[in-house]
Amino acid sequence: MVYKPQTLIGFDFGLRWIGSAVGQTLTATATAQTAVTAKDGIPRWEEIDKLFSIWQPDAIVVGLPLNMDGSKSEMSHRARKFGNRLHGRFGLPVHFADERLSSFEAKGDIIADSGSRDFKGQGVDSRSAVIILESWMRGLEV
């Protein structure tokens, strides 16, 4: 079987901001993109359309916000609905990834990089999307 590297778009779903990242399976690395604005979890689709137009991904990864005990939450259901809408809109495979503690890790990375605990304008949501996407890619068997 020949392995074909893929471009992936990852999302950290939120009610006001949806973090985004683009990654390559060849390197299993991702780069943060501008967070998409949302109103009560409904994204500005033109911003997402632009991401897909630029990057032309092969698949999508959406973070699934589970409770610490692994059970589903209201946000889990909303993130899954968002993923299903992405699938319907773009016709690409959508994978869901456990995102527990990704925002906590993203904030830790920002503190380490900047030495500041002021996260305003620091891209926590998109940094979380990078963590989600890279974690998911590390779990792939090639």
* pLDDT tens-digit map of 86-130: 999 999 999 998 875 545 444 444 444 544 444 444 467 888 899
Q: How far apart are CA 106 and CA 109, in angstroms?
A: 5
Q: How far apart are CA 34 and CA 106, in angstroms?
A: 15
pTM beyond 0.75: yes
How do residues 22-73 score in pLDDT, each as one tens digit? 999 999 999 999 999 999 999 999 999 999 999 999 999 999 987 767 778 8
Radius of gyration (C-alpha) of the chain in whole angstroms: 14
Q: How far apart are CA 28 and CA 137, in angstroms?
A: 6
Residue-wise burial string across 8-22, b where 16 or more C-beta atoms lie within 10 A, e elsewhere: bbbbbbbeebbbbbb
Place of tokens 């889990």: 76
Quick one: fold of 1-63+109-142?
Nucleotidyltransferase; domain 5 (3.30.420)
Other CB atoms within a 10 A radius of the CB of residue 69 amount to 6
